[in-house]
Amino acid sequence: MKVLVIWPPHVPSYFNAGHHTPAFMTAGHLRRNPRVTRVDVHDAGVLNMNWKAVGDLLFQGDYDVIAVMNDFDAVDGLERFVAYARELSPRSRLVTFGRLSSMNPGYFKRYDLDAIVQSGDYECGVAEVVDAVGGGWSGGPLPGVAVRAAGEWHDPRQPGGSLPAEDWVLPDVHEIPYAAYDRLYTRDDHKFCGIPFRRELVVPAARGCPIGCDFCEVPSIFGLKERRLSVDRVIDYIESAFADQPFEYVAFYAPTFTLDRRWVRELCERFQQGSLRPRWKCATTIHHLSEELVTLMGDSGCVRISVGLETLEPDSQGSLPRAKQIEDERFRTLAGWCARAGIELNAFVIVGLPGTTPAGVARTIEVARSTGARVRPTMYTPYHGMPATLSPLEISRYNRQLMSEPGDPGMTREWYEFLFGLEDRLTKVHEAVPRHVGREAV
């Protein structure tokens, strides 16, 4: 069997390389399947591939299964991709997987697809489809996967499976279009997550999160219980990747990186004792940090910690999980720890969170900036309330940049000022990350 895993071409509204790793991990997982003889994987969603190239791939590939990755802001090209696939590779079975289909599977039933992964780990859902096609494709129900048979959609017979961390296949660095990723990170005024002018190795370290923020998709998709790679495996992957490619820092992709403090301490100590000692960054919550841990992280090469500050408005904090309810002084204390450790503090702030006001958001940002923190604002997006009947244009508003529903024009402009207004505070953290000798600048 031949399988294509692809993120179709589109213009991204936001870019985080970590969100793209499931394509490569799913491809790696499928290569372990004895039925599968070939797996091609292409991330065509980073302004690096035109539709002629996609057509060539589909026409020449003659794939048995095409697994199409989706995301909240990446539906723009899906209808066109499906049309290309049906026209140029008519015998292929088409399955879609990703964050959007896991949160809103009903939306995808309008497309000419054969299957929709709607629960469990993406690798498990796509593997179920591959096995079903290899067995003759009866169109019967599959775990975690909605299947279309005789023109009718049939819901999964049971929830999708999940993989223990030791069974994850980490991305093959030879398959990832890093030059395209570099270009998307160059403009820091876009407030994307990467460090400009330096090449990033993403390490998918953990899945699942017990915090339970209602504006986050992680618990719904991957569960409240965290699964995490061993420190040994993380170190081995980093050392192997850095020996093979001109990476300059590590981005740990984990919902709450310091949830397991013992694990973080072990990782930091290994970095301190090793010969590589990479610079690195992570995201976590203020609740799961201490002065001792921040100091250790800085000593071991950490250059940026991102935290979900969300809001400092007292009247709106009641809607946040207890671990996210933060007072001004606690944030200022954390900022002091980071400054002394030589770490850039990056504060995620939510614009339009229920109960907040433009004046309150402005004050939250002012407090964060007064400590020297970098601020990354995003629009409040109620993923859990997305109806399946939304049009592609309507669902594209759930991209953490636009308001999901248009509001009062005057108020809307006040909210949008935080996201699209002039940004004159740009990061300098790249200066703390040595450039790889011989790699050309973007």
Q: What is the pLDDT of residues 419-436, one digit of tens each?
A: 999 999 999 999 999 998
440: confidence class by pLDDT, cuts 50, 70, 90: low
Q: How far apart are CA 412 and CA 425, in angstroms?
A: 23
Nearest-10 crossing angle of helices 409-420, 358-370: 20
How many helices and strands in the chain, by DSSP H and E? 14, 15
Sheet holding 249-253, edge to edge: 200-204, 249-253, 280-284, 302-310, 344-351, 374-379
60: confidence class by pLDDT, cuts 50, 70, 90: very high
Question: Which pLDDT does position 157 carry in this prediction?
Answer: 86
Query: What are the backbone angles phi and psi of residue 304, rounded to the nearest 5°?
Result: -150, 135
Instruction: Compute the average pLDDT of residues 188-192.
Output: 96
Which residue has 């013992």 as its token pair? 262
Structure tokens at 173: 């660095």
Indicate where the chain has its CATH 3.40.50.2300 domain(s): 2-154
* 317 DSSP assignment: G
- Average pLDDT over all residues of the chain: 94
CATH topology for the 2-154 domain: Rossmann fold (3.40.50)
Structure tokens at 413: 């402009």
Sheet holding 38-43, edge to edge: 38-43, 2-7, 65-70, 93-98, 115-117, 145-149, 152-154
Give per-residue pLDDT as tens, 99-152.
999 999 999 999 999 999 999 999 999 999 999 999 999 888 999 999 999 999
Asked whether residue 36 carries a pLDDT value surpassing 70, the answer given is yes
Best CA proximity match to 46, nearest among 172, 192, 180, 183: 180
In this prediction, what percent of the chain has a pLDDT beyond 90?
85
Give per-residue pLDDT as tens, 378-434.
999 988 888 999 999 999 899 999 998 877 777 789 999 999 999 999 999 999 999
Instruction: Compute the average pLDDT of residues 256-268.
Output: 98
Best CA proximity match to 303, nearest among 325, 276, 282, 326: 282
Instruction: Compute the average pLDDT of residues 55-80.
Output: 95
- Tell me the sheet residues that pair with 7: 43
Q: How far apart are CA 361 and CA 281, in angstroms?
A: 26
Secondary structure in 3-state letters for 79-147: HHHHHHHHHHCCCCEEEEEEHHHHHCHHHHHHCCCCEEECCCCHHHHHHHHHHHHHCCCCCCCECCEEE
Structure tokens at 403: 């308001």
Question: Which pLDDT does position 212 carry in this prediction?
Answer: 82
Beta pairing class for 249-253 and 2-7: unpaired
| Spacing of C-alpha 158 from chain mean position | 26
Indicate where the chain has its CATH 3.20.20.70 domain(s): 186-432
- Terminal CA-CA length for the chain: 39
CB atoms within 10 A of CB 192: 18
Is 311 in contact with 361 (CB distance < 8 Å)? yes
Question: Which pLDDT does position 434 carry in this prediction?
Answer: 96
Which residue has 């790699």 as its token pair? 439
Rg (CA), the chain: 22
Best CA proximity match to 250, nearest among 191, 333, 335, 170: 170
DSSP H or E run through 201 = strand 200-204
CB atoms within 10 A of CB 204: 21
439: confidence class by pLDDT, cuts 50, 70, 90: low
* 268 DSSP assignment: H
Question: Which pLDDT does position 216 carry in this prediction?
Answer: 86
CATH 3.40.190.10 for domain 186-432: no
Query: What are the backbone angles phi and psi of residue 140, rounded to the nearest 5°?
Result: -75, 165
Give per-residue pLDDT as tens, 151-176.
999 999 899 999 999 999 999 999 99
Of residues 344 and 356, more confidence is placed in 344
Task: Please name the residues in contact with 56: beta carbons below 8 A apart, sequence gap of 6 or more.
Answer: none
442: confidence class by pLDDT, cuts 50, 70, 90: low
DSSP labels, 20-58: HHHHHHHHHHHTT-TT-SEEEEEE--SS---HHHHHHHH
Q: How far apart are CA 131 and CA 134, in angstroms?
A: 5
Is 328 in contact with 286 (CB distance < 8 Å)? no
Residue 71 region, left (φ>0) first, then alpha (ψ -120 to 50), else beta? beta
